[in-house]
Chains A and B, each alone.
Chain A
Amino acid sequence: MTTTTLAVLVPLLPFLGAAAGLLLGRAAPGFVRPLAVLPAVAALALAVVVAVRQGGGPSVDAATELTPTGSVPIELALHIDGFAALVAVVVGLVAACVQIYSTGYLREDPRYPSYAALVSLFTSAMFLVVYSGDLIVLLVGWEVMGICSYFLVGHYWETPEARAASIKAFLVTKLGDVPFLIGLFALAADAGSFEITKILGTVAHGGLDHPTLVALLLLAGVAGKSAQFPLHTWLPDAMAGPTPVSALIHAATMVAAGVYFIARLLPVFEASAAAMTVLAVMAAVTMVGSGLAALAQDDIKRVLAYSTMGQLGYMTGALAVGDRGAAVFHLLSHGAFKALLFLAAGVIIHAAGTNSLAAMSRMSNLRDRVPDAYWTMTVALLALAAIPPFSGFFSKESVLGAAERVTVGHTEHAPGAAGWTVLVAGVLTAFLTAAYAARLWLLAFRGRGEEAPDHGRQPLTMNVVLWILAVPSLAFGGFAYRTLPDWFDGNDLAPTLTTSVLGTGAALVGGLVTYAAWRRLTGVAARVPLGAVAAHPEGDAAQVEAEAIATHAPAYGDVASAPDPADPGRLLLGPLHRHAAAGFHLDAVYRELFVRPVLAAASLVRFLDREVVDTYVGGAGALPRWLGAAVRRAQTGNVQTYVSALLAGTVVLAVAALLVASGA
């Protein structure tokens, strides 16, 4: 088979799996698990084959026009370059791992068939985004992911948190998608084509008339999808979904789509210095803000959610300094270790019966209950904190190195200010990242107090996946940074000495400061008892998690934070802790700015409808009703009366006709 055929099969297989799963889910429950896992694994295998055949060489392009549109043509187009080939492999890897993991995680869930089908559809949509060479086809995948995330985040729809979070995720990403759509049309109008290669050709010849407008409109959609400030607020709340879904959304699909989209169309953004500066500021604010917020979160998954935003900030930062190789490099390594972090967190939540770090810090022996999760999560956290030689170190250094090259003026695309912004924010975030990674590790695995509850061994499917993902988290960066430039633009991705020392130093300091704070507070934890565990520890992991999410707010007063004086994050942040826990009150600001006016407008419309419009309608109805009541009185039931009236009418008509005929 040709590479094109294989590449077409990659998104098609999970899509068929999803369709079959949705159709057969009820009729043939035995087929649901194979239908979920096999397409994902097959798609991974095919993506690997495509990547090997593409091999970083010239891009594979194929296009077929379905139907003429009359103006700008829309084509089913493939455009597979080194970026697309490698990102597809990571998407396939994470999706396959998530599907395997889900068979254990939701093994008793009655809604597993639809869940698995939606995960397959989600994967298929992401493959479509990755391989598509046409922006409209890309948009289709982009929007399908939006609706899938809505359904999957709301999987535990019995809990109000999940319902609210799914609607929020949908609305906030759609808020970005509207300008995104307009931006796509503006871009196509300028370039005369939706095809990526043609657009890039137009940009290369300076044929773009409104680069800043187009770039900023597109940026809004990317900010929504990739959870960048100021449209990031849906991401922490999306933690109300099942953990495998979080892993899928955060590691390889959805949020990666935004970064990947900019990477594909980077020349369009580079045509506008203003857009690059906005991108840099956006990345910097997201990085630092999310780092601070992550230090204050109590829910283990919310810590990881904020860390995802921070890592995405690194990627957009790399794009802001015009190095898409570094951005996609970090996307790849982040995909592996973030998926691992989430899946391990799912195991920990199941074992501990709670998602609260405060409660975990009061359990001893949690690490002995889940040794696989303990070791793999340690690896992933070291990768997240960018400690050499873990893969996160190399990818993060490539971002910082790119920023440093811009500050000294070695590249012509990006403004120097963007370089400085990204570099300073990046080093600061390296410090914060290490701090919250250390806090998570210490609170979850170094707790003291009562024995952790014993819920038996974790399912094999869940543990195996952790080790599979631990391999790339550990080794991918170190092996890949020399060969990756051949796949990408050819920019050097090797760590430079200055930024390595700066970044690693910041990370070490962050980790040590957190450790010191934690040591100071170890005595306090014993004095303040805190914690609540799930009521059904014997249930499957999904049920335990749903209970943990539903009980967090009643047990600790808030979905995000817990009143735990022994939290090292509280000591480090000081007075900032209260604001950081609430995500710097951005939700409250949005509530004042958008939600309340909309609610007020809705109640105004309701008043107008009920009191004004309905009055006219009611009035229009009342007159015929009165007339009808009057006429009804003639209805006596006596046939002879009717005939009399008929006769009288006939006589009147006859007389009138005679008078008219005689001309009187």
Chain B
Amino acid sequence: MHLAYPAVLSALLFCTGLYGVLARRNAILILMSVELMLNAVNLNLVAFDVWLSKTAEETLHSGQALTLFTIAIAAAEIGIGLAIVLAVHRNRGTADIDRLRDTAEGHESQEGSAADGSDTDAPATGAAAEKAEATA
């Protein structure tokens, strides 16, 4: 099999995952998109390992070994990620990434004092507009 097929497939997978990470609003779907990206990388690793080991006199198949690593780490990552999402959902009643913006600049003062609120409203609304563009 020519190397181009798995490479193109992995690029498509990666782009799909990237789109999901950037555009999805549900945190679980974002995590799934991350898995897609990781698997695209795994595919690349296996494909290029096979292609390289054809010409090499002896090989350790390190690409395939690394793939196993990545799969194990991805499992762990998704476990922690889902647990966090679950905890956030229990706390906030939502897993919508757009509504979890506690680290925004001026977030504290927005809740704290009304006087500061008018000052920091502008960037907050600006960011919301930006977000709307990104989801569109």
Chain A residues in the interface with B (C-beta under 8 A): 632-633, 635-641, 643-644, 647
Contacts and interface: CB of A to CB of B under 8 A. Distances in A.
B56 interface: no
Given A633-B123, A647-B22, A640 B134 contact: yes
23 contacts: A632-B105, A633-B105, A636-B124, A636-B127, A637-B101, A637-B104, A637-B105, A637-B107, A637-B127, A638-B97, A638-B98, A638-B127, A638-B130, A638-B131, A639-B97, A640-B21, A640-B97, A640-B131, A641-B127, A641-B130, A643-B21, A647-B18, A647-B22
Nearest to A629: B105
B111 interface: no
A644 B97 CA distance: 14
A640 B104 contact: no
Nearest to B135: A640
Interface in B78-104: 97-98, 100-104
B103 A641 contact: no
A640 B104 CA distance: 13
A625 to B, nearest CB: 14
Interface residues of B, number: 20
A635 B102 CA distance: 11
B22 A635 contact: no
For A632, A636, A643, the residue with the greatest tally of chain B CB atoms inside 10 Å of its CB is A636
Contact of A636 (B21, B23, B130): B130
A278 B104 CA distance: 80
Given A643-B21, A643-B22, A635 B104 contact: yes
A522 B46 CA distance: 123
A636 B104 contact: yes
B103 A637 contact: yes
Contacts of B100: 637
B103 A644 contact: no
4 cross-chain pairs, A with B, having the tightest CB-CB distances, nearest first: A637-B104, A637-B101, A636-B127, A635-B105
Contacts of A640: 21-23, 97, 131, 134
Contacts of A644: 22, 134
A449 to B, nearest CB: 72
Interface in B96-136: 97-98, 100-105, 107, 123-124, 126-127, 130-131, 134
Nearest to B123: A633
Contacts of A635: 103-105
B111 to A, nearest CB: 13
A638 B123 contact: no
Nearest to B104: A637
B100 to A, nearest CB: 8
Contacts of A636: 101, 104-105, 123-124, 127, 130-131
A640 B18 CA distance: 11
B94 to A, nearest CB: 15
The residue in B23, B101, B104, B105 that gathers the most chain A C-beta atoms within 10 A of its C-beta is B105
Interface string B61-91: 0000000000000000000000000000000
Nearest to A632: B105
B92 to A, nearest CB: 14
A640 B133 CA distance: 12
Contacts of B127: 636-638, 641
A633 B22 CA distance: 20
A332 B23 CA distance: 101
B34 to A, nearest CB: 10
Nearest to A644: B22
A647 B103 CA distance: 20
B97 A641 contact: no
Given A636-B124, A638-B127, A647-B22, 15 more contacts: A633-B123, A633-B126, A635-B104, A635-B105, A636-B123, A637-B100, A637-B102, A637-B105, A637-B107, A637-B127, A638-B104, A640-B22, A640-B131, A640-B134, A641-B131
A144 to B, nearest CB: 57
B41 to A, nearest CB: 14
A636 to B, nearest CB: 3
Contacts of B97: 638-640
A645 to B, nearest CB: 11
Interface string B20-35: 0111000000000000
A635 B124 CA distance: 9
Contacts of A637: 100-105, 107, 127
A644 B103 CA distance: 17
A300 to B, nearest CB: 66
Contacts of B23: 640
Contacts of B105: 632-633, 635-637
B4 to A, nearest CB: 19
A640 B21 CA distance: 7
Contacts of A647: 18, 22
